[in-house]
Chain A
Amino acid sequence: MRSVLAVCALVALPAAASAQKPEKKPMNPSHEEIALDKQSVVAAPLTHANLAVFPVLTTATGVKHVDYLVLDEGMKKKVVTVVEKGEGGDVNQLELRNSSDRPLFLMAGEVVIGGKQDRIIGKNTIVAPRTSEAVPVFCVEHGRWSGRKAEFSSAQALAHTELRKKASFSNQGEVWKEVSAKNAKRKLSSDTDTYRGVTQDGSVKKSIDGYDKAIRTQLAAFASKDRMVGFVVAMDGKVVAIETFGSPGLFHKFQDKLLRSYYVEAVDHEFDAARPPSAPAAAAITGFAEKARTAKRGVVLDKKSGKTMQFDEGDLKGSEVETTDGSSVYRGAYE
Chain B
Amino acid sequence: MARVTAVVEREWADLVDRDGLRAAAAIGVEAGEGEEPPCPACGTAAPLEAGACGECGLQLE
Contacts and interface: CB of A to CB of B under 8 A. Distances in A.
Interface of A: 86, 88-93, 122, 136, 138-139, 142-145, 170-173, 175-176, 192, 300
Given A88-B40, A90-B40, A136-B19, A172 B56 contact: yes
A142 B24 contact: no
Given A90-B24, A91-B41, A139-B58, 10 more contacts: A86-B27, A90-B23, A145-B60, A171-B17, A172-B20, A172-B22, A172-B41, A173-B56, A176-B57, A192-B59
A86 B26 CA distance: 14
Given A90-B23, A92-B24, A143-B59, A171 B18 contact: yes
Interface residues of B, number: 17
Contact of B24 (A88, A93, A145, A173): A93
A171 B20 contact: yes
Contacts of A300: 19
Given A88-B40, A171-B18, A172-B41, A145 B59 contact: yes
A59 to B, nearest CB: 37
A170 B19 CA distance: 7
B45 interface: no
Given A142-B57, A145-B60, A192-B59, A175 B40 contact: no
A144 to B, nearest CB: 6
A142 B59 contact: yes
Contacts of A143: 59
B59 A91 contact: no
Given A88-B40, A89-B40, A90-B27, A145 B58 contact: yes
B41 A139 contact: yes
30 contacts: A86-B27, A88-B40, A89-B40, A90-B23, A90-B27, A91-B23, A91-B41, A91-B58, A92-B22, A92-B23, A92-B41, A93-B24, A122-B20, A136-B19, A136-B20, A139-B41, A139-B58, A143-B59, A145-B40, A145-B58, A145-B60, A170-B20, A172-B20, A172-B22, A172-B41, A172-B56, A173-B56, A176-B56, A192-B59, A300-B19
